[in-house]
Amino acid sequence: HDIAFSNKPLAGKTVMITAGPTVEAIDPVRFISNHSSGKMGYALAKAARIAGAEVELISGPVNIRAPYEVEVTRVTSAAEMLAAVKEKIETVDVFIGCAAVADYSPVEVSCHKIKKNDEVMSLKLQRNPDILAWVAARQDKPLVVGFAAESQSLEFYARKKLEKKNLDMICANDICCEGLGFNSENNQLLLMKKDGSQILLDIASKEVLAQQIIQEIVNQISDNSH
Residues labelled as active-site residues: 34
Q: Which of 27, 80, 103, 207 binds Ca ion (CB under 5 A)?
A: 103
Residue 61's alpha-carbon distances to 17, 65, 107, 126, in angstroms, are 14, 11, 21, 21
Q: Is 93 in the site for Ca ion (CB under 5 A)?
A: no
Is 27 an interacting residue with respect to Ca ion (CB under 5 A)? no
For position 132 contacting ligand CTP by CB under 6 A, the verdict is yes
Measure the CA–CA gap between 113 and 177, rounded to whole angstroms.
38
- Asked if residue 47 lies in contact with residue 40, where contact means CB atoms within 8 angstroms, the answer is no
Instruction: State the binding string over 62-101 for ligand CTP (x if CB under 6 A, else -).
Output: ----------------x------------------x-x-x
Cβ distance to ligand CTP smaller for residue 5 or 56: 56
Residue 158 binding result from ligand CTP, Ca ion, none, given CB thresholds of 5 to 8 Å by partner type: none
Q: CB-based contacts of 113: which residues, under 8 Å, 6+ apart? A: 27, 28, 29, 30
DSSP string computed for 145-172: EEEEEESS-HHHHHHHHHHHTT-SEEEE
- For position 146 contacting ligand CTP by CB under 6 A, the verdict is yes
The minimum distance between CB 42 and ligand CTP, in angstroms, equals 14
The answer to whether 106 and 78 have CB atoms below 8 angstroms apart is no
List residues near Ca ion by CB under 5 A: 103
